[in-house]
Structure 1
Amino acid sequence: MLAALSRKPIASAGRLGSGPALGPQSPARLTDIDMDHCGRLLDHVHLRVSDLAASRRFYRAALEAIGRLEAFGEAEGCFFADEFYVDKAEGRVSHVHLAFQARSEDEVRRFHAMTLSAGGRDHGGPGPRHYHPGYYAAFVLDPDGNNIEAVYHGPTQRSADSVEVTRL
């Protein structure tokens, strides 16, 4: 997440941006980290939930709010969207903070309203955050208590809307 939120180039391995080296005494600030490359680190996120139907309603609303419902799919015992996969836990459920990218402040507000209507609990209404200039977000707890966020980083230009992978 840090690499996706920053603005300065990475100086070298073990250092983030032109800021301090990472270590227990010198935490990185989000403005000290590169924002040139996003979407290269994670292959997928897998949530294990207690109530698959309740989670399906919640995440379907979340994806619809940010204009990504076309990515939603489901199969027996699970649902998914791009790199996001959800199934029913046999034991313990997942506990994560997950942030969806929004393309506008309106999408963030829509995300907050629609996920609350779909069973979410408010965890921080839409508004600017101090993480970096332009950071606008809303937070909702999903049916299992995961901290789910929609964030808009301000106006940007992407090199592509999505990455297409062809299996060889």
Structure 2
Amino acid sequence: MIDHTGIVVTDLKKARRFYDAIAEALGLQTIDNGTEAFLFGKSAQEPIPYLWIGTTRPSYWIEGSRAGINQMHVAFQARDQAMVHAFYEAALANGGMDNGAPGPRQGAGEYFGAFVLDPDGNNIEACARGAASKS
């Protein structure tokens, strides 16, 4: 199970606009984490798991690493198809780019998802599984 993960972005203001919008669509929150980062998760009261998003160069990066060089994929759970659609529309309206419109995915079983690229090219997804994928 994931405790946390993180991505480095080039423009914190652009990233915050994008992640604030998809957080609202997914019933999640963004939480301030200093002047160079913020957290994306359930809430300040339930902070873990979270996605750290910031402009600081992580100490564990190997030489030559930079924001956007290694595309990351993060998938967030959605309650139903409507939430997947809301995520997709919020992302596109706030600096995201289409990377797979909402719909079922071949070979994934009962699955309904949408893919967008954030302002730095990371692949961000929202998906509903099982019975939720049909509603």
Amino acid of the structure 1 residue aligned with 2:51: F
1:76 aligned onto 2:35:
yes
Higher share in strand: 2
The structure 2 residue matched to 1:138, chosen from 111, 114, 123, is: 114
1:101 aligns to what?
77
**Residues in 2 aligned to 1:146 and 1:81: alpha-carbon distance in whole angstroms:** 15
Query: Highest relative contact order (Cα 8 Å, sep 6+), 1 or 2?
Result: 2
2:18 aligns to what?
58
Moved over 6 A (4+): none
Structure 1: gaps spanning 5 or more residues: 1-39, 157-168
The structure 2 residue matched to 1:85, chosen from 48, 52, 61, is: 52
2:4 aligns to what?
44
Contact 1:50 1:89 in 2 (8 A): no
Report sequence identity in percent.
41
State the aligned residue count.
114
TM-score (norm 2): 0.78
How far did residue 67 of structure 1 move?
Answer: 1.1
- Structure number with larger C-alpha Rg: 1
| Partner SS, residue 123 of structure 1 | strand
TM-score (norm 1): 0.63
Q: Which moved more, 1:123-132 or 1:144-153?
A: 123-132
**Residues in 1 aligned to 2:130 and 2:22: alpha-carbon distance in whole angstroms:** 19
Contact 1:104 1:154 in 2 (8 A): no
| Partner SS, residue 93 of structure 1 | coil
Q: How large is the Cα RMSD of the aligned pairs?
A: 1.5
| Partner SS, residue 119 of structure 2 | coil
